[in-house]
Structure 1
């Protein structure tokens, strides 16, 4: 298992491939909203197993916090701790305050990682979400 930041075009496209499979193909998110203006300037991370990209996420660094997003693991690799390893890797690398919009079906996953929900539920890409945050020192 390799966990790394996408520093080149090949790695970036591997991230987009995983995101496409999870969000567009599986969750039916429209491709025109899955990729947005932040993808050109944020940091992307991925996990590769046996030369296959299996998990991806991005981090958008703001002045006071970092927003994590597009966190995804291919269906056949879920429930193996891969998503947890990716989130822990990124939060230890960057440190500080983190925020994310969690799909409600993934709420327990983020709570397990120490994130706390705040605010009201909202709909994004036709999927119920809630904001969450965590401080890493």
Structure 2
């Protein structure tokens, strides 16, 4: 996978297209919750497979953490380590900005995936967009 930070409008549109397919179409998250007021202040990542957008995520910096958000891989491309690729790229960006802690809100079905990458659950389960989540952190 060719993982990049979106630097132009087309790359951002590619990231949004992956998020739309996964969160809005597949998981039925309302569009107004998926595409929110933080889009313009976020660093957007997009991964390409065969020249086509396949994975996406966004990164913000809050309260001493790099906050990983909206991490997704198209359904037909899951299980090929692309999720790990995007997390690693986001973590490297966090470190390059001088931060040493990462935080994310994980859908509960993905807890094991994030634990395999060194994240620890630090919250009780909560609902976000009708989907159960937990907050997880990692020292980088």
- TM-score normalised by length of structure 1: 0.96
- Return the offset for 1:135: 1.1
Distance 2:86 2:6 in 1: 13
Between the two proteins, the alignment pairs up a number of residues equal to: 136
Matched residue, 1:76:
76
Runs (4 or more) in structure 1 with deviation over 3 Å come to: none
Structure 1 counterpart of 2:7 = 7
Q: Which TM-score applies when normalising by structure 2? A: 0.94
Q: Which moved more, 1:124-133 or 1:91-100?
A: 91-100
Q: What residue is the counterpart of 2:24 in the other structure?
A: 24
What does the per-residue CA deviation read over 1:15-52, in whole Å, with 9 as the maximum and x for residues that have no partner? 00000000000000001110001111110001101111
Q: By how many angstroms is 1:93 displaced?
A: 2.5
Partner of 1:128: 132
In 2, Cα distance between the equivalents of 1:42 and 1:61? 8
- Whether 1:115 and 2:119 are equivalent positions in the alignment is yes
Structure 1 gap ranges (5+)? none
Q: CA RMSD in A?
A: 0.8
Q: Deviations over 1:82-114 (max 9, x none)?
A: 010110121023221111000001111100010
Q: 2:40 is matched with which residue?
A: 40
Cα deviation for residue 62 of structure 1 reads 2.1
Quick check: 11-20 or 83-92, which moved more?
83-92
